[in-house]
Structure formats: C-alpha cells, structure tokens
Amino acid sequence: MAGRLYGVGVGPGDPDLLTLKAIGCLEAADVIAYPVKTPGEKGTALDIVRQRTDLSRKETVELVFGMNSETKARVCDYGNAAAKLSSILDGGKNVAVITLGDVSIYSTYMRLNAEMEARGYETTIIPGVPSFCSGAAEARMPLTIGEEGLAVVSMNGEPKEIRAAMDSFDNIVLMKAGRHMDLAVRLLDDAGLKKAATVISNIGMEGQYVGPIEEGRQYGYFTTVIVKKGRAD
C-alpha cells in the first residue's frame, strides 16, 4: 500500500511555534522532504524542524524549486518533485513535506499537493502559524478589529492591483516585499499610507526587525509589510 503524503506548516521561524500536531506528524513520518531554491542548500523550514525533532535517524529529502518565474522551468521542478515523492510513497513510506509558515499562504506545497492527489495519493494538510500573524503579534497590533477587512497581496503582483487593495481594505499585508521595497514605498506614498506601514522582517529568525520602513535599508527575502489604515495619522 502506498504511503500518505503530509503537507506540514512549520511556522515562520521560532521553533516554539511548531504545533503539537506538526511535531507529532514529523516524528511519525518515515521521510521529511523540504524545499530548497538550489540543490544542497540548507532549508529554512528544515532548520526550524531540527530544533524540535530528532532528525538523526530520519530520512530527509530535498525538493528543488528554483523560484524561476518561467512556466517551463517551474513545471519541470514540480514534475521532478512529484516523481521523487511518488517513488518514496510507492515504497509504502509516509512523507511529510515541510513548508514555512502556513501551508495555504503562498506555499509551493499546494501545487504539489494537487499534483499528488491527481496521481491518486492520499494527502493530509497540517496548518502552521502564518508569518504575518506572528509578525502582528511581535508588533502587538491587531490585523483586523471590529468589522475591518484584510487583504493579503504579493508584491510580485501587478502594482495597480496592489494599489487597489490599498484603496479598498482597512488592512493590507504585503507579502514578498523584500526585493520590492521601493515599489512598496512609492505605492504607499501615493496612497498617503506610508505612516500606516509596519515592516516585519525575519520574524522569529536572526536579524528580526519590526518597525517603520527605513528607506535605503536592505530588506531580505523574509520581509512583509503590514499596512493598517487606523495608523495613518
């Protein structure tokens, strides 16, 4: 009988934010698979897991997702990952694929999950703490309160759609903001919302920053901006 595939959210960085369910699943899994951008890289999600799970006798397998925007390369990465997982599952082993934050938020895993279900494998998804929820806690601010709404957008998206979210929602989370801080500042300035922005960067990791946008500062990949209109003035 084929093994079961688990998609496990491991939270944004602090290993204490791993859920009991995630730890239980990781301890029981035969194989832990983790995403990397380049072969041989040490996975951030695996670093979190190794702080709370004994990996010494556990089989670990890397899945390479090159973050290539070209559709052909992306399809190839997913095909390779699906083939790798299929051969392990066909051997009757259960595999936990770990992913940073929550599985349902911009996670490469969900495409893989769809492919594996299409191939007939049984899957289970275990949620994790999303980075922006952890960042809001660090900033001690509500993401929403009363009847407010919340938009979660990617800074890789179309600028006019990001601006539309800024115009339409009380609260906006700008994900994948690290490389796009200049664009974020421009859109926020145009919308009169720069003072409403709080950067949450490397939450639960070395170099954590929570505070206003500091122009000229370099922000890394693990950077998100929370915009809260109540804080605009």
Ligand X SMILES: C[S@@+](CC[C@H](N)C(=O)[O-])C[C@H]1O[C@@H](n2cnc3c(N)ncnc32)[C@H](O)[C@@H]1O
Smallest gap, in angstroms, from Cβ of residue 27 to ligand X?
22
Terminal CA-to-CA distance of the chain, rounded, Å? 61
Provide the token pair at 80: 């390779």
Residue 100's nearest CA partner among 14, 228, 158, 224 is 14
Find where tokens 């897991």 sit. 49
Smallest gap, in angstroms, from Cβ of residue 100 to ligand X?
5
Shorter beta-carbon distance to ligand X: residue 89 or 226: 226
Smallest gap, in angstroms, from Cβ of residue 178 to ligand X?
6
Smallest gap, in angstroms, from Cβ of residue 135 to ligand X?
6
Shorter beta-carbon distance to ligand X: residue 59 or 158: 158
Shorter beta-carbon distance to ligand X: residue 60 or 104: 104
Q: What is the full DSSP assignment across 52-118?
A: TS--TTSEEEEEE-----SHHHHHHHHHHHHHHHHHHHHTT--EEEEESB-TTSS-THHHHHHHHHH
Shorter beta-carbon distance to ligand X: residue 61 or 152: 152
For residue 13, with 0-12 CB atoms within 10 Å meaning exposed, 13-18 middle and 19 or more buried, which class applies? buried
Residue, CB closest to ligand X:
101
Residue 151 is classified by DSSP as: E
Smallest gap, in angstroms, from Cβ of residue 34 to ligand X?
14
Residue 42, phi then psi, degrees to nearest 5: -85, 125
Shorter beta-carbon distance to ligand X: residue 5 or 103: 103
Smallest gap, in angstroms, from Cβ of residue 155 to ligand X?
8
Residue numbers at the binding site for ligand X (CB under 6 A): 12-13, 100-102, 105-107, 130-131, 135, 175-178, 200-205, 221-224
Shorter beta-carbon distance to ligand X: residue 4 or 179: 179
